[in-house]
């Protein structure tokens, strides 16, 4: 292997296999201009001459799943510049979001604060080995946002106007996906129904009989095995959990092996939930399925679970980036966020309420009620 001369231009052949984490600068193959990923395609587009270049992923690039127990030594880590060509990491002093940007960052995409500072000492993190590329572009996202806003009751009128001008930021949100085999030992009780005949006196004073359900309990114990595949955990803390949960489902089978060209022209958030915390969140998501497996195993008509102890093995994970259009705007000093899933166009969001519209609506209802009462009374009289 030849030692690399630092004075030499960097090899930008996109089909050449790349060193882990090493990303060469991305330039247009025709004019040398900046390129950005074109949503809905598998290509980057030149900002200047619109030349399209297909993303050809080297055949040795596959979506890896790493063993969780050896992850901290085996999974490649890197700084922001290794995630995206020319990437710099910035931190929002207001909400704490850490984002990889290539362009000028003047405000935070998550909270619209202008308190964004560059992190001089780039922190190293586990690098994503897969990405779900943007399928819908900014115009389509804005149209989805406007359509959503139109169906909101009592939205302030200036908000609707503002949404027409409001930009949307293309953001890759960090996620972990986990696979695991589980084995759970449990103790509990199986309840079986039986019926007894009861006599009672009805309202006419006659003696009647009726069947009454009772439960007989038997102790039960055993072991259940449940396998989990692609349990998704959001590794961002920058959006409210309610909003993040509603972004699901994501088409995880469509994941592509990571290539920095999918990030060209977009931002990517650094993960704020680390791997061990992510796995612990994943076990919470696995718990209901394990509980149902125990109930099925116990059988009978009713079940009681007294203890359950789960061991997890064959734990594997992936770090992946999922695409989102986000609009964070301040309205009367409060931050509202609207997100568009960049795969499905589904819109979720927080929104301000127009108290003037609500008050007018309530007054109109009151006027209607008073009118009806008045009509009713004048008919009576």
Helix, strand, or coil (residue 63): coil
Neighbouring CB atoms inside 10 A of 290's CB total 20
What is the nearest approach in angstroms of Zn ion to the Cβ of residue 99? 9
Helix, strand, or coil (residue 219): strand
Tell which residue, 341, 170, 337, has the closest CA to residue 246.
341
Nearer to Zn ion, 315 or 337 (CB): 337
Confirm if 312 and 182 have CB atoms less than 8 A apart. yes
What is the nearest approach in angstroms of Zn ion to the Cβ of residue 50? 7
Confirm if 113 and 96 have CB atoms less than 8 A apart. no
What is the nearest approach in angstroms of Zn ion to the Cβ of residue 27? 8
Tokens of 275: 């791997």
Nearer to Zn ion, 184 or 236 (CB): 236
Residue 246's H or E segment, with its range, is helix 241-246
Helix axes 138-150, 157-165, angle to 10 degrees: 170
What is the nearest approach in angstroms of Zn ion to the Cβ of residue 125? 19
Nearer to Zn ion, 33 or 167 (CB): 33
Nearer to Zn ion, 92 or 290 (CB): 92
Handedness of CA 26, 27, 29, 35 (dihedral sign): positive
Confirm if 303 and 191 have CB atoms less than 8 A apart. yes
Nearer to Zn ion, 110 or 175 (CB): 110
Residues lying near Zn ion in the complex (CB under 5 A): 28, 30-31, 33, 46, 48-49, 51, 92, 94-95, 97, 108, 110-111, 113
Nearer to Zn ion, 138 or 272 (CB): 272
Nearer to Zn ion, 92 or 168 (CB): 92
What is the nearest approach in angstroms of Zn ion to the Cβ of residue 239? 11
Q: What's the rounded Cα separation, in Å, for the pair 90 and 264?
A: 17
Distances (CA, A) of 109 to 26, 104, 145, 275: 24, 12, 16, 24
């Amino acid at each position: 292997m030849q030692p690399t001369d630092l004075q030499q231009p960097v090899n930008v052949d996109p089909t050449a296999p790349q060193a882990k984490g090493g990303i060469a600068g991305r330039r247009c193959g025709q004019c040398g201009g900046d390129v950005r990923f074109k949503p809905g395609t598998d290509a980057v587009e030149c900002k200047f001459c619109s030349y399209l270049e297909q993303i050809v992923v080297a055949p040795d690039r596959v979506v890896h799943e790493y063993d969780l127990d050896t992850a901290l030594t085996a999974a490649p880590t890197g700084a922001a510049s290794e995630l995206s060509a020319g990437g710099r990491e910035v931190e929002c002093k207001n909400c704490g979001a850490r984002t990889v940007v290539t362009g000028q960052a003047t405000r935070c995409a998550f909270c619209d604060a202008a308190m964004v500072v560059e992190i001089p000492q780039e922190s190293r993190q586990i690098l994503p080995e897969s990405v779900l590329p943007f399928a819908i572009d900014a115009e389509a996202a804005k149209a989805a946002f406007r359509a959503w806003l139109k169906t909101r009751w009592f939205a302030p009128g200036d908000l609707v106007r503002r949404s027409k001008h409001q930009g949307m930021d293309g953001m890759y949100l960090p996620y972990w996906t986990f696979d695991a085999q589980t084995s759970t030992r449990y103790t509990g009780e199986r309840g079986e129904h039986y019926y007894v005949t009861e006599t009672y006196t009805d309202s006419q004073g006659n003696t009647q009989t009726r069947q009454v359900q009772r439960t007989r309990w038997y102790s039960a114990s055993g072991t259940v095995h449940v396998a989990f595949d692609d349990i998704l955990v959001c590794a961002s803390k920058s959006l409210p959990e309610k909003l993040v949960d509603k972004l699901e489902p994501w088409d995880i089978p469509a994941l592509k092996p990571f290539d920095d060209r999918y990030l060209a022209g977009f931002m990517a958030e650094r993960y704020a939930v680390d791997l061990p915390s992510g796995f612990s969140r994943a076990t919470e998501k696995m718990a209901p399925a394990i509980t149902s497996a125990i109930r099925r195993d116990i059988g009978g008509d009713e079940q009681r679970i007294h203890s359950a102890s789960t061991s997890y093995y064959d734990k594997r994970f992936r770090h992946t980036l999922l695409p989102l259009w986000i609009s964070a705007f301040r309205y009367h000093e409060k931050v509202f966020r609207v997100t568009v899933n960049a795969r499905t166009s589904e819109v979720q969001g927080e929104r301000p309420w127009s108290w003037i519209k609500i008050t007018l609506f309530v007054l109109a209802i009151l006027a209607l009620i008073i009118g009806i009462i008045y009509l009713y009374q004048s008919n009576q009289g």
